[in-house]
Each structure stands twice: as C-alpha cells, then as structure tokens.
Amino acid sequence: GAGVSQSPSNKVTEKGKDVELRCDPISGHTALYWYRQRLGQGLEFLIYFQGNSAPDKSGLPSDRFSAERTGESVSTLTIQRTQQEDSAVYLCASSLLTGSYNSPLHFGNGTRLTVT
Amino acid sequence: SQQGEEDPQALSIQEGENATMNCSYKTSINNLQWYRQNSGRGLVHLILIRSNEREKHSGRLRVTLDTSKKSSSLLITASRAADTASYCCATVKTSGSRLTFGEGTQLTVNP
C-alpha cells in the first residue's frame, strides 16, 4: 500500500518568506510526527499528533513554527518568516499506535528546505 | 541531553564482516527501536525491542537490550555493501509517547 507522502520534496525560499510543508500519512495511522534533521545531525523532534488529543508541541523551536492536522489525515507544517537556520530536511512519520507505544514509525522521504 | 547516543559515530568494515553498533540512553524506556537511514532522507524501521525483552533477531540483525546498563547493541552479520547507511536508535520513555532519536552511526561496508 501507499506509504507516507511528503510534498514538496525540495523547497528553496528566500529569507523572510513563509513556507508550508505537507504530509500525507498512511491511511488509518492515528499518530503523526514531524522531525527536523540538519545536515550531519540526528532527528530533532518538533511536534506529535495522536488522534483527537491535544498535540505535543514541545519540540517546536519558536513561535514561527506551527502545525495542524485535521482528524487522522493530512498535516501541514508552516514556518513563518523563514531564517537561514531553518534550512534542513523536514521528516514526517506516522504510526498505528496500540496504546502501548510499541508501534514502529513509517517515514516519508522528507522535504529538503533551503533558505537563501 | 540526548536520549539515545550511538557509538561509534562511524564504522568502516569489509564485506562479510560483522558490524556492531551500540546505543546508550538515560531514562527508563518503554521500548527501543533501531532505524536505518540512507542519504539523509526517510528512515526505515528495522527492529523493535520491548523493555522486558533481552534479545531479538530479524534475519541478519540481532539486537540486545540491557536495561540495567541502559544500553542496546545492533549486530549485523555477514555485512554487504548494500548495508552501507546510517543506523540510529530511538527510545520511547515510560513517561511519554515521543520517540527520541540518537544521532546515528555511519556504517560503510567496503566491497
């Protein structure tokens, strides 16, 4: 079946512009994560959605970052007034939680964001 | 501080040799997962080991978990050039649901 889909795959934007990144999770997956990965570094947690519960936004680095998810479908990550340090690969993942957090994550191929 | 730190940062071996990568973490966990990442893009889940398990196998992969030492190891046997990738561990704390990743070990298997 279809995996996690992210768009665009690459985005080049000018400093100060807003960008919107999209993630289509696997159908039926209740949990959705956004991570950021800078060049040569590990994954940095941004935000986590689980069903209709309040999202865990504790990883968002500043108020320029926001994310939304409608139900158990598409999610968008928005970065306002982009800065050069926002340049990174933004990865989305979804999982089918069983309530015991023992479900693996399925990742998309990411959006490579370059802020010039 | 980082929850999930891999050791070594980089490992280079010859095809056919075994590769061992280690992961240490700091807090009590619900489970530990190993992922593989090619070329800085999406990660692929390899294996999950629960906190009450000590060892798990999947094909050429063997994972161990020592909760008393807060460490895990990933062994890849009879390595192939196609195993070249970054391998990282990720943990789920018992107090939360967030999956936290380490920075990974870059494995290079030379043909």
pLDDT, tens only, B27-78: 888 889 999 998 767 899 999 999 999 999 999 999 999 999 999 999 999 9
Asked if B45 lies within 8 A of A108 by C-beta distance, the reply is no
- Residue A111, token pair as written in the block: 């959006």
Domains of chain A (ranges; CATH) run 5-98 (2.60.40.10)
pLDDT in tens, A33-86: 999 999 888 899 999 998 888 899 999 999 999 999 987 889 999 999 999 999
Residue B106 is which amino acid?
Q
Q: What 3-state class would DSSP assign to A54?
A: coil
CA distance B96 to B59: 30
Best mutation target among A102, A106, A109 (most B Cβ atoms within 10 Å) is A102
Question: Taking a C-beta distance cutoff of 8 angstroms, is the pair B32, B22 a contact?
Answer: no
What residues of chain A, 59 to 88, have a C-beta less than 8 Å from chain B?
A: 59
Residue B100's pLDDT is what? Answer: 86
For residues A82-95, average pLDDT: 96
More confident residue, A78 or B92: A78
Q: Min CA distance, B54 vs chain A (Å)?
A: 16
Interface test with B, best of A105, A106, A112, A113 (most B CBs within 10 A): A105
Provide, as residue numbers in chain A, all residues whose Cβ is less than 8 Å from the Cβ of B97.
31, 48, 50, 56, 97, 101
Domains along the sequence of chain B with CATH: 5-110 (2.60.40.10)
State CA B32 to chain mean position distance: 9
**Does residue A1 surpass a pLDDT of 60?**
no
Give me the phi and psi of A93, to 5 degrees please: -145, 150
Q: What share of chain B is helix, strand, coil (3-state, %, to 5)?
A: 5, 60, 40
Q: Which residues pair with A5 in a beta bridge?
A: A24
